[in-house]
Structure 1
Amino acid sequence: MPKLDPDKAPVRTGSIYPQPYADEMAGRSSLRLGELAGLTQFGVNIVTLAPGAVASLQHWHLNEDEFAMVLDGNLVLAEGLRETPMVSGDCAAWKAGVPVGHRFENRSDAPARFLVVGTKASEEIATYTQVDMKVHVAGGKARFTYHDDTDWTGPRDLPDGGQT
């Protein structure tokens, strides 16, 4: 395959999350390099976070490994109540099936970017650790449930207050 032109990669903004969580993803965009290359076994994206933006709700994946590397800017890696400053060159990774909720946050006054590479499992479940929600993905379709796997109908509190 010839050299990829990132300017030709699809850009995704917004979120598949239901409201009110979709609005929390304002200021995030994702350059879909894996999609540009036609990759099917893993995803490769460059995520840009505007000042004050977050990359996702804190989550962990049942079937997909995930790797991230900060390209530029200053980010905070939030894992439960633990926070780790991240700068250019810093890396983090999460093994599938390990229930460590994580997300990147841009608390700086400048944009920040990170590379994320992850498995593209045919079926996946991501659990959100600070809200009572999971997403089940199969056949390209997403279905949201509560942690007990009943259909999601709107936000509800977690028994432990979501401080996992």
Structure 2
Amino acid sequence: MSSDQKPYIIHTNETPLNPTSHKLNPKVYREQLRLGDLTGLTKTGVHLCRLPPHNESTVMHWHNNDDEWIYVISAGEGAVMRMKEGVKQVEDVPVKEGDFFGFPAGSQNAHALRSGEQEILYLVGGSREALDVCTYPEAKARAIVDRTLGGKSWGVREDAVVQA
């Protein structure tokens, strides 16, 4: 941050996004800018994300304690939100510019964006409760996040416990 930069504003057109992959599946890739962290927000997270063509934003998941939302800034043809409600089959819901998705804590609506021929640009955010459990139903895994210990988290698979 330059000496002229105010801590409450991020010039996103002048700030590079950082590549991010998922620990449960390194092929899942997006670029993101942690706007909430950069501006010092502690109770909510907000990320500006760019999802390259033909990719998924994350491993399908839902949060036990954290609310999560996604606002689509731009998306090309073939973009979908992959949804798995409880024990139902995965459904691909078409996504377009201006769509807003809200996932209340504990709703068991696993989700992940998938881009088509063009990238998807979107905002994702949510609450940051002291403790959260993130469930990945297709991976048969969970992440336990303890924000009271400075952001420590652990991964648990149905057949093993792993450090996240």
TM-score clears 0.5: yes
Task: Measure, in 2, the Cα distance between the counterparts of 1:120 and 1:11.
Answer: 22
Q: Distance in 1 between matches of 2:83 and 2:18?
A: 24
The aligned residue for residue 87 of structure 2 is none
Partner of residue 160, structure 1: none
Aligned residues between the structures: 147
Selected match of 1:66 from 65, 68, 87: 68
What is the CA distance between 1:125 and its match in structure 2?
0.7
2:157 to 142, 146, 162: 146
Alpha-carbon shift at residue 135 of structure 1 (Å): 0.6
CA pair 64-115 structure 1, distance change in 2 beyond 3 A: same
Query: How many angstroms does 1:2 deviate by?
Result: 5.2
Q: 1:64 to 1:151 in 2, by over 3 A?
A: same
Pair 1:98-2:98 in alignment: no
How far is 1:92 from its partner? Answer: 0.7
CA distance in 2, matches of 1:127, 1:2: 32
CA distance in 2, matches of 1:141, 1:2: 26
Q: Deviations over 1:3-29 (max 9, x none)?
A: 4322565743223514xx1x2223x11
1:89 aligns with 2:93: no
1:35 aligns to what SS in structure 2?
A: helix
CA contact under 8 A between 1:133 and 1:152: conserved in structure 2? no
Gap regions ≥5 residues in structure 1: 154-164
Provide the rounded CA distance (Å) in 1 between the counterparts of 2:133 and 2:53. 29
Spell out the pairing of 1:6-155 with structure 2 (5 A cutoff): 6-7=12-13, 11-18=17-24, 21=25, 23-26=26-29, 28-74=30-76, 75-80=79-84, 81-106=90-115, 108-138=116-146, 139=149, 140-147=151-158, 150-152=160-162
Provide Cα deviations, 1:106-138, integer angstroms capped at 9, x if missing partner: 1x2221111112111221110001111111111
| CA distance in 2: counterparts of 1:34 and 1:91, whole angstroms | 19
Check 1:7–1:95 CA distance in 2 against 1; reply closer, same or farther (3 A cut): same
Unmatched tracts of structure 2, length 5 or more: 1-6, 85-89
Letter in 1 for 2:58: S
Q: Which runs of 4+ in 1 moved over 4 A?
A: 7-10
- RMSD of the TM alignment (CA)? 2.1
- 2-structure distance, mates of 1:42, 1:10: 22
Listed one character per residue, the Cα deviations across residues 133-152 of structure 1 (whole Å, up to 9, x for unaligned) are 1111112112110248x514
Q: Which amino acid aligns with 1:77?
A: M
Deviations 1:3-58 (A, max 9, x none): 4322565743223514xx1x2223x1111111121101001111110011111111
**Percent pairwise identity:** 26
